[in-house]
Amino acid sequence: MTRAFPSKGKGPAEAGPLDWMLLAGLIAMGGSSFTFIHMALETAPPAVVTIGRLWLAAIFLYGAMRAKGRRFPPLLVRTIKGLRPHRLWVWMSMVGLIGYTIPFFIFPWAQQFVPSGLAGVYMAFMPIWTLMLAALFADERLTPARIAGFVLAAAGVLVLMGPDALAGISGDNLLAQAGLLLATLLYAASAVMSRRAPPARRIVFSAGIVLMGALFSTPGLLFTPIDPASWSARSMLSIVALGVGPTALAGVIIIIIIRRAGASFMALANYIVPLFAVLAGAALFGERLGLNVFLALALIFAGVFISQQRARSSAPAIAAALQKSS
């Protein structure tokens, strides 16, 4: 059994056609997730979008796990102190709550106030959070390159939020952007936590954390007006696409790519998913993002690039976090 992604693998020059095809598919799914959220929100409440996609993904991943002949561990184990929750379920519950339930509620809520492309741009900050958290909690050194990368990326976020952020002006748009930044922090935290979890087959761990994310999200229906008759077919199909594609199938593709080409090759998606989201938002919804968005994206990308120059050991955590970039 394994718990960490291999840190070595093919570089772009050594990757084969199938590796690039898989990476392109993953980027398309990750970048399109913001588009599907936009369409789902046209008639469905944010909570329905979140809960629906998580349960669909949980069912899909459970089927994939059983198809591979794997099973979940028992919920309880007997110890000298009596029955105790299985350690793997404890970790899967924590990662599911922090890496799925909370950020998956944040993104649909935030996209009610900001363009889908802008939401995608914030995902570019996730590798920076991952490197910083790994330095603080995973015994990885906080190098000058990481500090410089964080400063550059943080400057990009300030440019993204605009003058209102610097002036301390509040509003739905600014609160939504702050929520998106928090969601990327939670994604990164769950990636670092995943590396410290007990050993488990990746398909078992992926299915378990999504299942727990779905379970934790379900009570949200109690606080959401439910009127299925008002939900359009387009919204429902978008929720299905979110659950099967960016949330479930992307996780399986990540495993395949890392096994074939390594986590460093996998991390290339960090640079392309936000651009895909921006282009999709412009093409499908006529979103017109200002020059500050592209300047911010350039600063964040520069920060990610600089911080990763001496951070190859963190590539596994960054790649693991990509499954949540949806």
Q: Tell me the C-alpha distance between 32 and 24, whole Å.
A: 12
Whether 188 and 129 have beta carbons less than 8 Å apart is answered as yes
User: Which residues 6+ apart lie within 8 Å of 185 measured at CB?
Assistant: 129
What pLDDT does residue 277 have?
Answer: 86
Question: What b/e string do you get for 172-181 counting C-beta neighbours within 10 Å, with b at 16 or more?
Answer: ebbebbbbbb
- Which of 16, 1, 19 lies closest to 266, judged by CA? 19
Q: Tell me the C-alpha distance between 206 and 221, whole Å.
A: 24
What pLDDT does residue 12 have?
Answer: 57
List the chain pLDDT tens, one digit each, 326 residues.
Answer: 333 344 445 555 566 788 889 888 988 998 899 999 999 999 999 999 999 999 999 999 999 999 999 999 999 888 888 889 999 999 999 999 999 999 999 999 999 998 888 888 888 778 778 777 877 776 667 778 878 888 888 888 778 776 655 454 456 788 898 999 999 999 888 888 887 888 889 899 999 999 999 999 999 999 999 999 999 999 999 999 999 999 999 878 877 877 777 666 766 777 778 888 888 888 888 887 788 888 888 888 888 778 766 544 444 444 444 445 44
What pLDDT does residue 170 have?
Answer: 55
**Helix, strand, or coil (residue 309):** coil
What pLDDT does residue 222 have?
Answer: 93
What pLDDT does residue 163 have?
Answer: 66
Task: List C-alpha distances in Å: 180 to 39, 119, 125, 247.
Answer: 18, 7, 10, 17
What six digits make up the tokens of 177?
């952007």
- Which of 186, 206, 25 lies closest to 104, judged by CA? 186
What pLDDT does residue 302 have?
Answer: 86
Phi and psi at residue 311, in whole multiples of 5°?
Answer: -130, 35
Q: Residue 294 class from Cβ within 10 Å (0-12 exposed, 13-18 middle, 19+ buried)?
A: middle
Name the pairing type of β-strands 82-85 and 76-79. Answer: antiparallel
The model's pTM: 0.82
Which DSSP string do the residues of 96-165 spell out, in sequence order?
HIIIIIHHHHHHHHHTTTS-HHHHHHHGGGHHHHHHHHHHHHSS----HHHHHHHHHHHHHHHHHH-HHH
How many residues are present in the chain?
A: 326
